[in-house]
Homo-oligomer: A and B are copies of this chain.
Amino acid sequence: MSNVKKVVLAYSGGLDTSVIAKWLQETYDCEVVTFTADIGQGEEVEPARAKAQALGIKEIYIDDLREEFVRDFVFPMFRANTVYEGEYLLGTSIARPLITKRMIEIANETGADAVAHGATGKGNDQVRFELGAYALKPGVKVIAPWREWDLNSREKLMAYCEDHNIPVDFSSSKKKSPYSMDANLLHISYEGGILEDPWAEAESDMWRWSVSPQEAPDSPTYLELTYENGDIVAIDGERLSPATVLEKLNKIGGANGIGRLDIVENRYVGMKSRGCYETPGGTIMLKAHRAIESITLDREVAHLKDSLMPKYAEIIYNGYWWSPERKMLQTAIDESQVYVNGDVRVKLYKGSVEVVGRRSSNSLFDEKIATFEDDAGAYNQKDAEGFIKLNALRMRIAAGKGRKSL
């Protein structure tokens, strides 16, 4: 284990990654570079500096990646109306490739030959970190302490802290939760605890980002979202940066009880897992994006996108953001968004998002043709006969030759 010289650690400032920082120094006898990113998790990142220094770290990176996160990861993903297994908006999955990209950049800048992370050997995150790391820096050494060490209980961790003078209290506030949580600008997730019984309802005080629908205001909130090339660029007429768009939607959505989700999902490593999620802004964005597409996308393009989406979602969930197949699909998805411009009006009320209006200078909705009133010849109803007859021809021939359809 002596062949590692310098390792970049994804460092949250919490207990686990603090232990890892020390354990890496001790076990690999190597320099550790910490990297802490603000991706909207809702905690200050600056305090991580002092904690890292206390651990003897000399190279400390602290970055605000919020705009990059939304602009280059969240928004591109939402262009595809991406949903994993019909429900999950991929809040954790989409943050990993950015963390990994920055880790590798820092490894290159600091001359590190290894990277390390605090994800366990049972989850998806280890896969997402490491696939990205190998894709971006093929010779990198990846260290996943949770798969290597024997500190596999809270007691052992605590003992390690005591032995190594790692102050335990600093993470006390967060760790009172019985849940394993993860947060970024797109969502917060909960796993473990009583959630390990899929029949048990989540406790009402678990949720942190949203009020319950019952507690939400008794009157609805209307929003007008403006799209350009498939991305939201303004809310109620006010032009906003990507991260600000998402922050604002989270706030308004959360206040209206929007975006709670309770599912059992299939992990890439082969097991089923119960997770609860709050994705207020993302829930609004998914609904609104479909609405703006509904008037601006060609039918066959929309259907093609729908048929590709499950694959695209799987690629992201499984950790292949930095793969050539994701890039190939993204090219097609982005091409489809050229005309996805215009406004969507949504109504938020006690947990539900309704679309109540959509308009676009690129609209393909043609009132003259669609009308139930006189269309002045815009559409010739007689065309429908030939359309149906030829579409039926193969089935008529088959039935005529005795095949049964029932």
A42 located at the interface, meaning its Cβ lies under 8 Å from any Cβ of chain B in the complex = no
In the assembled complex, the CB of A285 is this many whole angstroms from the nearest CB of chain B, namely 13
> Is B196 a contact of A121 with CB atoms below 8 Å?
no
> Is B398 a contact of A264 with CB atoms below 8 Å?
no
30 pairs across A/B with beta carbons < 8 Å?
Answer: A85-B294, A120-B381, A121-B381, A121-B385, A134-B389, A135-B395, A136-B406, A138-B395, A199-B345, A199-B357, A214-B219, A263-B294, A264-B291, A270-B391, A270-B397, A272-B366, A298-B323, A298-B324, A300-B325, A301-B328, A304-B328, A329-B332, A362-B401, A364-B398, A366-B400, A369-B393, A379-B393, A380-B389, A383-B385, A387-B391
A370 located at the interface, meaning its Cβ lies under 8 Å from any Cβ of chain B in the complex = yes
**Cβ contacts under 8 Å, A101 to chain B:** 406
A201 located at the interface, meaning its Cβ lies under 8 Å from any Cβ of chain B in the complex = yes
Q: Which residue of B lies closest to A394 (CB)?
A: B270
A192 located at the interface, meaning its Cβ lies under 8 Å from any Cβ of chain B in the complex = yes
**Cβ contacts under 8 Å, A403 to chain B:** 324, 339
Given contacts A200-B357, A301-B324, A367-B196, is CB(A134)–CB(B381) below 8 Å?
A: no
Interface residues of A (CB under 8 A from B): 81, 85-87, 101, 120-122, 126-127, 130-131, 134-139, 142, 144, 146-147, 152-153, 180, 191-192, 196-202, 213-214, 218-220, 260, 262-266, 269-274, 290-291, 294-295, 298-304, 306-307, 310-311, 314, 320, 322-325, 327-329, 331-332, 335-336, 339, 345, 347, 349-352, 354-359, 362-367, 369-372, 374, 379-401, 403, 405-406
**Cβ contacts under 8 Å, A269 to chain B:** 384, 387, 390, 393
In the assembled complex, the CB of A26 is this many whole angstroms from the nearest CB of chain B, namely 21
The distance in angstroms between the C-alpha atoms of A311 and B131, with both chains bound, is 23
The distance in angstroms between the C-alpha atoms of A362 and B398, with both chains bound, is 9
In the assembled complex, the CB of A124 is this many whole angstroms from the nearest CB of chain B, namely 10
Ranked 9 nearest A-B pairs via Cβ? A121-B381, A386-B386, A270-B393, A266-B299, A383-B386, A134-B392, A332-B332, A138-B399, A351-B352
The distance in angstroms between the C-alpha atoms of A391 and B131, with both chains bound, is 8
> Is A384 a contact of B328 with CB atoms below 8 Å?
no
Given contacts A122-B379, A379-B271, is CB(A294)–CB(B392) below 8 Å?
A: no
> Is B301 a contact of A325 with CB atoms below 8 Å?
yes
> Is A384 a contact of B121 with CB atoms below 8 Å?
yes
**Cβ contacts under 8 Å, A271 to chain B:** 366, 369-370, 379, 393-394, 397
The listed residue with most B CB atoms (<10 A of its CB), out of A264, A265, A327, A329, is A264
Q: Which residue of B lies closest to A308 (CB)?
A: B308
> Is B323 a contact of A364 with CB atoms below 8 Å?
no
The distance in angstroms between the C-alpha atoms of A42 and B290, with both chains bound, is 31
Given contacts A306-B310, A392-B135, A394-B300, is CB(A372)–CB(B323) below 8 Å?
A: no
The distance in angstroms between the C-alpha atoms of A405 and B307, with both chains bound, is 22
**Cβ contacts under 8 Å, A347 to chain B:** 201
**Cβ contacts under 8 Å, A260 to chain B:** 354
> Is A335 a contact of B325 with CB atoms below 8 Å?
no
The distance in angstroms between the C-alpha atoms of A81 and B392, with both chains bound, is 27
In the assembled complex, the CB of A308 is this many whole angstroms from the nearest CB of chain B, namely 8
Contact of A366 among B300, B302, B397, B406 (CB under 8 A): B397
**Cβ contacts under 8 Å, A405 to chain B:** 135-136, 322-324, 327
Apart from A298-B394, A298-B395, A328-B335: 9 A-B pairs, beta carbons within 8 A = A138-B399, A196-B372, A214-B219, A214-B349, A271-B393, A272-B294, A272-B366, A364-B401, A387-B387
The distance in angstroms between the C-alpha atoms of A374 and B151, with both chains bound, is 12
> Is B295 a contact of A359 with CB atoms below 8 Å?
no
> Is A303 a contact of B299 with CB atoms below 8 Å?
no
The distance in angstroms between the C-alpha atoms of A218 and B405, with both chains bound, is 48
